[in-house]
Amino acid sequence: MFLDGAFDIANDLFQDSEIYVLKGYGWILKEASNTYQQEVFDWVMKRKDSMPRLSLRYAIEKMPEEMRKKAMK
């Protein structure tokens, strides 16, 4: 339930122009990754080419280095 809500919020705010909105939904994804790391990683990987870099960095912040590197390529 929490994960679906996090993805809904991120999808709704995906291309917002406000820096704090981008940080906010990146933080939500980061917190969701504490429990659902692979699901959040898969979501990020599908959108990494169009996802704002700031949100991407927040979302992957707590992931293992190998996953972070793959997402940042």
pTM attached to this predicted model: 0.90
Helix H or strand E encompassing 24: helix 19-32
pLDDT in tens, 26-43: 999 999 999 999 999 999
Tally of domains in the chain: 1
DSSP state of 69: H
Sites in the chain below the pLDDT cut of 70: 1
pLDDT at 1: 63
pLDDT at 31: 95
Residues spanned by the domain of 47: 2-72
As a whole number of angstroms, the distance between CA 18 and CA 39 comes to 26
pLDDT at 60: 97
pLDDT at 38: 96
Burial environment of residue 12 by CB neighbours within 10 A (0 to 12, 13 to 18, 19 or more) = exposed
